[in-house]
Amino acid sequence: MTADQAPKTNVHVRNQHPGQDNSRTELLEGLLRADKSISPKYFYDARGSLLFEQITQLPEYYPTRTERQILSRYATHMHKACGSDCVLIEPGSGSSEKVRLLLEDLRPSAYLALDISAEFLRQAAERLGSDYPWLQVFAICTDFGLDWSVPEDLPAGRRIVFYPGSTLGNLEPEAALGFLTAMRGWMKDSGGALVGLDMHKDSTRLNAAYNDSQGVTAAFNRNILNHVNTLLGANFIPENFRHHAFYNEEKQRIEMHLLAQGAQRVDLGGPVIECADGESIHTEHSYKYTVEQFSELCSAAGLRLRQRWSDPEDLFSVFYLTP
């Protein structure tokens, strides 16, 4: 994605990607540790983004389906909370499908999508611009966890951050606090945020959600190694690693790992690592919160929990926050 503007006149695509050097440093840092890890942001190359969209449609994976129901049912309520003509900012926007459930009610003056997968982002922005010709769509290819700059031509308006999908749960609590604090800065003093969060619940349902019968989540997990191969010039063989996901009751989080099937020797494009049989590469964790825990986290970030919308089983919630 090199063009500054997509073909649609209401779609503006910018590239602020941090570059391969940043990715290489971060990946090597994680893989050269004794407890090997890869940041979950690297799930989302083009194939990974498509696989995740498939995951969201699986019968076992309740979060996306449940959150969509909440957004559809309470869109008018969310409009009352957020107001009209806001600037809607979505970090980690993916396919920008969930925001469609709010657009007709909120009627924002602009929508700003932030995502690290350049081609996937461009295609999603162009589809959205075509389907909503009245909407100014801005799309920035960036790692939203790093510094990025707001487009100078972004329309004025009250800034509302839209952060669905329980993505906040992928962060360690300390990092989640840091992100919420940064988000507080994006919305300024007059803004707000709509945050989707998976709630703490019975482990049986959680384990099923991350171990689907069709093996899509397993393919998604292993595909991260293909992305690492591309970024580092590494020679991981994804089929030599097994998907392993479980709910850690003590830490109140789902953990995803790739377990080496047999001893592995992997060239990382210079450095070489050894993976013993059964050794883990930790690829993701997803914390589950109670309302009280999330409220305390928000308070520490200078945010107040104003409203909560949930489903009848209280599996998932969408929170409205303000400074």
In a domain, 26, yes or no: no
135-190 pLDDT, tens digit each: 999 999 887 776 677 777 888 889 999 999 999 999 999 999 999 999 999 998 99
pLDDT of residue 1: 42
CA distance 182 to 38: 23
> Among 283, 291, 293, which residue's Cα sits nearest to residue 309?
291
In a domain, 6, yes or no: no
117-141 pLDDT, tens digit each: 788 889 999 999 999 999 999 999 8
Q: Verify that 222 and 301 share a domain, yes or no.
A: no
Percent of the chain with pLDDT over 90: 81
Distances in Å between the Cα of 178 and the Cα atoms of 168, 175, 181 are: 11, 5, 5
Strand order in the sheet with 280-287: 241-248, 253-260, 280-287
Q: Is 7 a residue whose pLDDT tops 70?
A: no
SS3 assignment for 139-156: EEECCCCCCCCCCCCCCC
Q: Verify that 92 and 239 share a domain, yes or no.
A: no
223-262 pLDDT, tens digit each: 999 999 999 999 999 999 999 999 999 999 999 999 999 9
Phi and psi at residue 201, to the nearest 5°: -160, -175
In a domain, 2, yes or no: no
In a domain, 180, yes or no: yes
Q: Verify that 191 and 308 share a domain, yes or no.
A: yes
Where in the sequence is the domain holding 211, given as residue range(s)? 39-49+203-286
CA distance 295 to 301: 10
Q: Verify that 231 and 243 share a domain, yes or no.
A: yes
In a domain, 29, yes or no: no
CA distance 95 to 53: 8
In a domain, 282, yes or no: yes
pLDDT of residue 51: 96
Instruction: Using CA atoms of 221, 310, 172, 321 in order, give the dihedral in degrees to the nearest 10.
Output: 130
Distances in Å between the Cα of 80 and the Cα atoms of 39, 42, 105, 197, 240 are: 37, 36, 9, 21, 51
Parallel, antiparallel or unpaired: strands 110-115 and 136-141: parallel
195-213 pLDDT, tens digit each: 999 999 989 999 999 999 9
pLDDT of residue 155: 87
In a domain, 195, yes or no: yes
In a domain, 306, yes or no: yes
pLDDT of residue 144: 73
277: helix, strand or coil: coil
CA distance 283 to 256: 6
Per-residue pLDDT band for 23 (boundaries 50, 70, 90) equals confident
38-93 pLDDT, tens digit each: 999 899 898 998 999 999 999 999 999 999 999 999 999 999 999 989 999 999 89
Q: Verify that 81 and 190 share a domain, yes or no.
A: yes
Q: Verify that 298 and 179 share a domain, yes or no.
A: yes
pLDDT of residue 156: 85
Distances in Å between the Cα of 227 and the Cα atoms of 48, 119, 156, 235, 238 are: 9, 14, 37, 11, 10
Q: Verify that 190 and 104 share a domain, yes or no.
A: yes
Distances in Å between the Cα of 278 and the Cα atoms of 23, 30, 260 are: 26, 18, 5
Q: Verify that 262 and 115 share a domain, yes or no.
A: no
Q: What is the CATH number of the domain that holds 104?
A: 3.40.50.150
pLDDT of residue 8: 60
pLDDT of residue 152: 78
291-322 pLDDT, tens digit each: 999 999 999 999 999 999 999 999 999 999 99
Domain count for the chain, please give it: 2
Per-residue pLDDT band for 2 (boundaries 50, 70, 90) equals very low
Q: Verify that 193 and 242 share a domain, yes or no.
A: no
